[in-house]
Chain A
Amino acid sequence: MSGDREAALRARAALESVMDPEVPVLSIVELGIVRDVAVEDAAVTVTVTPTYSGCPAMRTIEEGIVVALERAGFAKVLIKTVYAPAWTTDWIEAPAREKLRAYGIAPPERTEAGPLVQLAPLVRRVPCPFCGSSDTSLESEFGATACKSLHTCHACRQPFEHFKGF
């Protein structure tokens, strides 16, 4: 069904305009929230996965998906939520990471499989998104949203947020 495949591509392109409400420089496609787009008999099924379990933006994101697809001419939109594989910041590609940095949020580091129990605080010198210095310190692992931690740059004296590797 090449017609359906073509429609799926069109639907995916429409989803690239749906921005994350809390990180409005990245689309839900760039964040890896959209796992699959399929069209069958004029109905489009979008498979999504939540970023953080507690992310209060998921409902807004689902509404955004429906609105964007209706605008693109899809009358029937189904949203399917999956939990496996669990979302990871590793799905955010290099161009999107650069968008984050330009927006003033230090992009996530690559995640590593650590031990199950990790008690010591993570001491990580996240490069400052403003001046690039690594002379920074972690203030709190919890920022304004679940996905971000708070840091201070000692070189340019700016506080900044870091999109946590997760």
Chain B
Amino acid sequence: MSGPLFEYLLRLGDDRLVLGHRLSEWCGHGPILEEDIATTNIALDLLGHATMFLRLAGQLEGKGRDEDALAYWRDEHEFRNLQLCELPNGDFGFTILRQFLFDAWSLHWLEALTRSSHAELGAIAAKALKETRYHLRHSGEWVQRLGDGTEESHARMQAALDELWPWTGELDYQDSVDQALRSDAVVPDLALLRPPWEALTREVIGRATLRIPDGPPRMTGGRCGRHTEHLGHLLAELQIVARSHPGAKW
């Protein structure tokens, strides 16, 4: 294992790479044209954020891996994203609700990272935060419209929330990687971010007339490379061109 900041940057970068890929799967399949465009625009932003985090990770690692090498040439167990991000898209309601839960978390996480003692990490967080604010506005608006919508849309959103909520247990997972960085004020204590995240999500979910399910959170493991069966399939698609034609230029 390389240094803790390298590991931490993989967590930040992989969340956005994997979720960005999921969103890009909507290209040409959006429920309406405007939403097709919105979803893929957000996907591009997330890929841009992933690029910044993974590029810095590669520089810190110092083994000559750039963001492309990290995206295309690591295997499943080397990915550090939340399991939430790799779940298949489901219907549009499921996708946009997952996006909202992630955006709300990302907003608070990035905002805290803007105060990082690591100048470049802070600058990347500040840059990504600007876009995350309007991603949240978009996903939050849809959650309210669909939750407090028709009988059909409400039922689908409730089913999506019942499925998604247990996966949010992993959001504030912390271990020795965080600990080392927290003592130098490089990264925030994620436990402090859960209350504002939960307040925000409960407010929007309430306005959407949805009910947060009871029950325990799911198992975690994404931050340590343990994933659902879905990530392998996603990576197969994401990586096949690069691996079939190594070094290809176009």
The residues of A with any CB-CB pair to B shorter than 8 Å are 50, 52-56, 82-84, 86-87, 116-122, 139-146, 150, 166
Contact = CB atoms under 8 A, between A and B. Distances in A.
B207 to A, nearest CB: 9
Contacts of B120: 83
Interface of B: 34, 37-38, 41-49, 51-52, 107, 111, 119-120, 122-124, 126-128, 130-131, 133-134, 136-138, 140-141, 200, 204
B52 A84 contact: no
Given A50-B48, A54-B44, A142-B41, A116 B127 contact: no
A55 B127 contact: no
Given A86-B126, A117-B200, A141 B38 contact: yes
Contact of B141 (A53, A56, A119, A146): A119
Which 10 A/B pairs are nearest by Cβ-Cβ distance?
A: A53-B48, A54-B44, A84-B123, A142-B38, A54-B45, A140-B34, A54-B48, A83-B123, A86-B127, A83-B127
A54 B41 contact: yes
A121 B123 contact: no
Contacts of A55: 44, 48
Given A139-B34, A140-B37, A146 B44 contact: yes
Contacts of A50: 48, 127
Contacts of B37: 140, 142-144
Given A116-B133, A119-B141, A56 B44 contact: yes
Nearest to B16: A53
Nearest to B133: A118
B130 A86 contact: yes
Nearest to A119: B140
B231 to A, nearest CB: 22
Contacts of A86: 123, 126-127, 130
Contacts of B131: 52-54
Contacts of A116: 107, 111, 133
B99 to A, nearest CB: 13
Contacts of A120: 137
Given A116-B107, A117-B107, A141-B138, A53 B34 contact: no
7 contacts: A54-B44, A82-B123, A86-B126, A116-B111, A117-B200, A118-B133, A146-B45
Nearest to B49: A53
